Amino acid sequence: MPTTGGGYAGAPGVNAVSRGVADWLCLAAAPSFAFMALLTAFAGGADMICLAAQDASPFSGMTVMYVLMSVFHSAPWVRLIVSRRSGTARGL
């Protein structure tokens, strides 16, 4: 079966391996954004350099964006937890 991107259509297990890697890679986004939110909140972001933002809350700007990105990317974690509790894990 030919592919359009010059991939490895004939190699056995490559599609399964890449799907497994993608399943685990999608789990990396939410913790990464959560860590960046904590780092920005406690270490100060680039907006703290600005003199106008001296009295601003540390929970504004980039911190809020990172928290929202973490929430939006938490769906794979919810699916993993639900599948583990129901006993129907998809190979994760």
* 27-56 mean pLDDT: 74
Mean pLDDT, all residues of the chain: 75
Cα–Cα distances (Å) from 24 to 30, 57, 72, 76, in that order, read 12, 35, 17, 9
* pLDDT at residue 1 tops 50: no
What was the pLDDT predicted at 70?
93
Global pTM reads 0.60
* 7-34 mean pLDDT: 77
Q: Which helix (H) or strand (E) holds 21?
A: helix 14-25
